[in-house]
């Protein structure tokens, strides 16, 4: 089953379209909610056994084709000297947001040895799965992490971060350079531990104009992708319809597309030599099965059976989503796209 996902990442023929959901390892399962009553997010992520348990839940319960490691994009920032905590219903809070070049120069280089708990969790998951699903490692992308570090908390417009970018370009590029090197070291360590695919989360990059993305962000994302040559890579962002060609040019194997643009239009714009991940609106799951099926059928019709499609939500599983509908959705995608045999699909 892991081969199905990996073949799709390489745009090879598959026996059925692979499926996974961002934020699949929580929110919907009673067992996860019970763990969260006793443990914080970072506490769960830093405990290899508990992290592996949560990571495996959606494979067992939903039948998805990939297990994404349970973690937070802020996790590798702590070893770099960033004091932070996660507030429920708010998100990551940086104790001392970055303001100057001196703040950036004080950031330490990431030593993969200090994230051994994450690496051990990957080893546990890989052994437990025994090939039943692929293992996805991930990192926050430099722009999104920079926004958190400068804003100090989640933001709607990233005004402080963008003002820093425009007003202190030398400091901005120094920060992006350090975050790129962190992401490379972090992802390489995850691959060595057993991650078979890696995803770069650039959740906030849709707030940039194309020219600013090209000048201030794209070189660093491209550097990360080039450093991971030979490893299937996925670049994810939201609200990136105006940036699709630029994000595709970064070189990832798959480009994440959210529900704000049709999958067919997105694929035509980035070129069919690139894979796509997406892009069902997660709110359809909240609306019930009929709405979910209709949206999923449209996504699959727009994918038109092309190699390189990984079915996912446009963003992630929303609170209140029914796991029974998610399970039915996984089965629907697999059954609707099933090929009689792989040889016929390859011909």
**292-313: per-residue pLDDT in tens?**
999 999 999 999 999 999 999 9
Distant-in-sequence, close-in-space partners of 308: CB < 8 Å, separation ≥ 6: 8, 9, 11, 253, 254, 272, 274, 275, 276
Task: Please tell me the distance from the alpha carbon of residue 336 to that of residue 13, in angstroms, as a whole number.
Answer: 15
What is the predicted pLDDT for the residue at 90? 87
Mean pLDDT of 267-289: 97
What is the predicted pLDDT for the residue at 169? 98
Express each pLDDT in 251-265 by its tens digit: 999 999 999 999 999
Mean pLDDT of 282-291: 98
Say whether the peptide bond before residue 279 is cis (omega within 30 degrees of 0). yes
What is the predicted pLDDT for the residue at 271? 95
Strand partners, 86: 92
Mean pLDDT of 272-285: 96
Looking only at the bridges linking them, the beta strands covering 275-277 and 309-310 are parallel
**Percent of the chain topping pLDDT 90:** 90
What is the predicted pLDDT for the residue at 345? 47
Is 328 a residue of the active site? no
Is 126 a residue of the active site? no
* Overall domain count for the chain: 1
Highest mean pLDDT among 38-42, 154-158, 165-169: 165-169
Query: Which pTM does this prediction carry?
Result: 0.95
Closest CA to 214 of 183, 181, 249: 249
Catalytic hit among 3, 11, 36, 212: 36
- The pLDDT mean for the chain works out to 94
Residue 75 has pLDDT above 70, yes or no: yes
pLDDT bracket for residue 1 (50, 70, 90): low
pLDDT bracket for residue 281 (50, 70, 90): very high
Is 36 a residue of the active site? yes
Catalytic hit among 3, 11, 27, 103: 27
Three-state DSSP class for residue 311: strand
Mean pLDDT of 189-215: 97
Give the gyration radius of the chain's Cα atoms.
19
Closest CA to 190 of 122, 117, 111, 141: 122
Catalytic hit among 15, 65, 70, 148: 148
Catalytic hit among 72, 103, 177, 212: 72
Is 281 a residue of the active site? no
pLDDT bracket for residue 339 (50, 70, 90): confident
CATH number of domain containing 79: 3.20.20.210
Residue 89 has pLDDT above 90, yes or no: no
**Ramachandran class of 220: left when φ > 0, alpha when ψ lies in -120 to 50, beta otherwise:** alpha
Express each pLDDT in 7-62 by its tens digit: 999 999 999 999 999 999 877 899 999 999 899 889 999 999 999 999 999 999 99
Domain extent at residue 122: 2-346
What stretches of the chain adopt beta strand conformation (E)?
66-68, 84-87, 91-94, 134-140, 197-202, 233-237, 254-256, 275-277, 309-310
Is 339 a residue of the active site? no
Residue 343 has pLDDT above 50, yes or no: no
pLDDT bracket for residue 88 (50, 70, 90): confident
Question: Where does residue 271 rank: exposed (0-12), middle (13-18), buried (19+ CB within 10 A)?
Answer: exposed
Query: Of residues 156 and 160, which shows the higher confidence score?
Result: 160
pLDDT bracket for residue 342 (50, 70, 90): low
């Amino acid at each position: 089953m892991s081969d199905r996902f990996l073949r799709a990442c390489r745009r090879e023929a598959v026996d059925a379209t692979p499926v996974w959901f961002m934020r699949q390892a929580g929110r919907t399962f009673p067992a996860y909610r019970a763990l969260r009553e006793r443990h914080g997010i970072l506490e769960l992520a830093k405990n290899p056994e508990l992290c592996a348990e949560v990571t495996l839940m959606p494979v067992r319960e939903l039948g998805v084709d990939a297990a994404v490691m349970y973690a937070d994009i802020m996790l590798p920032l702590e070893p770099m000297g960033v004091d932070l905590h996660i507030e429920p219903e708010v998100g990551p809070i940086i104790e001392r947001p970055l303001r100057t070049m001196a703040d950036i120069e004080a950031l330490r280089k990431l030593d993969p040895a200090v994230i051994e708990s994450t690496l051990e969790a990957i080893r546990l998951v890989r052994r437990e799965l025994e090939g039943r699903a692929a293992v996805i490692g991930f990192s926050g992308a430099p722009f999104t992490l920079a926004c958190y570090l400068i804003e100090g908390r989640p933001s709607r417009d990233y005004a402080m971060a963008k003002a820093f970018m425009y007003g202190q370009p030398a400091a901005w590029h120094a920060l992006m350079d350090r975050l790129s090197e962190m992401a490379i070291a972090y992802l390489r360590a995850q691959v060595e531990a057993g991650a078979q695919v890696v995803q770069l989360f650039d959740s906030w990059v849709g707030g940039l104009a194309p020219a600013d993305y090209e000048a201030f962000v794209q070189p660093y994302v491209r550097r990360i992708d080039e450093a991971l040559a030979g490893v299937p890579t996925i670049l994810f962002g939201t609200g990136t319809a105006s940036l699709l060609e630029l994000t595709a040019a970064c070189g990832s194997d798959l480009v994440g597309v959210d529900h704000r643009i049709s999958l067919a239009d997105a694929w035509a714009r980035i070129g069919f030599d690139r894979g796509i991940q997406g892009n069902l609106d997660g709110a359809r799951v909240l609306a019930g099965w009929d709405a979910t099926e209709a949206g999923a059928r449209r996504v699959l019709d727009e994918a038109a059976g092309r190699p390189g499609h990984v079915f996912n939500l446009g963003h992630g599983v929303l609170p209140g989503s029914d796991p029974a509908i998610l399970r039915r959705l996984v089965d629907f995608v697999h059954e609707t796209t099933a090929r009689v045999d792989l040889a016929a699909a390859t011909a």
